Amino acid sequence: MENIFQVAEVQLTYRTNVKPADRPQVTCSGDAFRVFRQYWSDNIEMIEESYLILLNRSNRVLGIMPISSGGLSSTIVDTRLVYAAAIKALASSIIIAHNHPSGHLRPSQADIDLTRSLKKAGEALDIALQDHLIIAPGSGFYSFADEGLL
């Protein structure tokens, strides 16, 4: 009997050529901001994007990756994709950031809801959400952790 069902093959691989001691260490929101800004695209003033920092148990950066890219005033962050990346990298914790091209740092209700959703999912997976940053061109950043919203 011929198998009529096609299935996808899923492979989880993670490779790095960077020695652990050479990876940046994130000890505060300012450190995370500097890592994000180093890798952020040139579109920070044009479109809303989100990025993810993956951290090991020593808060050393395992990797940084783009999560989503949207329009002028929003982007969609899928919790499943965030934690799929964290699991793939064997991350102990994560930090997420998105930009506000408008320059305003105040979080929207959607930003607060996303943070709550990511935190709850991370608790279930034992992968801590350490912070969620909002970055604005020329205005610095807003840290949910620093503001007591985590």
In whole angstroms, how far apart are CA 50 and each of 6, 47, 57, 88, 98?
33, 10, 23, 19, 4
Rounded to whole angstroms, the Cα distance separating 41 from 57 reads 27
**pLDDT score, position 12:** 47
Mean of pLDDT over the chain: 87
Mean pLDDT of 42-58: 87
Strand bridging mode 140-143 / 61-69? unpaired
Lowest mean pLDDT among 16-20, 44-48, 72-76, 127-131: 16-20
The CATH number of the domain covering residues in 21-143: 3.40.140.10
**Strands, DSSP E only, in 1-150?**
49-55, 61-69, 93-99, 128-136, 140-143
Residue with more model confidence, 65 or 18: 65
Mean pLDDT of 54-74: 89
Q: Where are the domains of the chain?
A: 21-143
Mean pLDDT of 109-119: 96
Q: What are 97's strand-pairing partners?
A: 51, 133
Q: Tell me the pLDDT tens digit for each residue of 76-100.
A: 899 999 999 999 999 999 999 999 9
